[in-house]
Amino acid sequence: MLSAMAAVEKQSGFAALCAHFPARWQLALRFGVVVGAPFAAGTSADAHPLGAIAAASALLIVLLGTPGYGIARRAQVIGVAILVGLAAAIGALVQNHEIALVLLLLLVGGFFAVARKVDRSLATIALVPIIGLLIGSGSTDGLRSAIELLAAALIGGGLYLLFLDRVWPSPEHPSVALEGRAKRLLPGLILALPIGYVLASAIVDWHMAAYAFALLSLVVILNARGAHRTTRHELLGFLVILALVIIEVQIPVRADVMVSTALIVAIVGAWRAERGTVPLWSILGTLLVLIASVS
């Protein structure tokens, strides 16, 4: 009898999985194109940081939008893309000045921690300087690199999304639940980035930006809204991606493998979205892959 009940539950679970697929495939595929296309374009041109910042710019803009965001609010799209590019440019200029970079990470970490107590839109905006700084700090040093990063964020993020919204409009845009829950982890959110960067630079001296963002992501997930069971699922999903990223950076793998990893994480996460909200493990995991590809 128990085996029969288990078979019924297994069938119902498989049926739910099959029913979920056709309802989400368009959002998932489009989300993968948003992240994967600019990342792949930069990588194919042997400009990994430019592809990573373009993909990050596109991803963050999409998370801020509503259906038709790019068409209805062009100025905001371009504005966010420029902010991502400026943060990346600053990261490129200060990457060899560790004290200045750590102080900037402390500043943007504090902004993010406070923003999460307000609402998810402001928290998403607060991710912009974090991601820009971390990707920029892994790029080539100098003014030319800074200008290229700014252009890549604008063209590969903002202008690309405006074009995509014209040729492939979406009935919905994904969001991510970044609101805060417990005050006890507020200091951890503020200090995660600078402490993670300093520890990584002292221990491994390799991919410091990626390890710093991984530490921040773990604190964010532990402090996320939702049931404890949901938090466990988010934590497990991110730990799997983190382990995969560590393996890829230690080997190291070819750049196109990192592109494929980011594409798969983005698509699976968007496919698993509930009410348009993409799981934290997917968003943070995708951003982690982008950062690790250049840091």
Query: How far apart, in Å, are the Cα atoms of 278 and each of 56, 134, 150, 195?
Result: 16, 22, 27, 28
How many Cβ atoms are within 10 Å of 139's Cβ, its own excluded?
25
Cα 167 to its chain centre, rounded Å, is 24
pTM: 0.89
How many Cβ atoms are within 10 Å of 114's Cβ, its own excluded?
16
**Along the 295 residues of the chain, how does pLDDT read in single tens digits?**
444 444 444 444 555 545 555 567 888 898 999 999 999 999 888 888 999 999 999 999 988 875 455 445 788 888 999 999 999 999 999 988 999 999 999 999 999 999 988 888 889 999 999 999 999 998 888 899 999 999 999 998 889 988 888 888 876 778 888 887 767 778 889 999 999 999 999 998 788 999 999 999 999 998 876 655 678 889 999 999 999 999 999 888 888 899 999 999 999 998 888 877 899 999 999 999 999 999 6
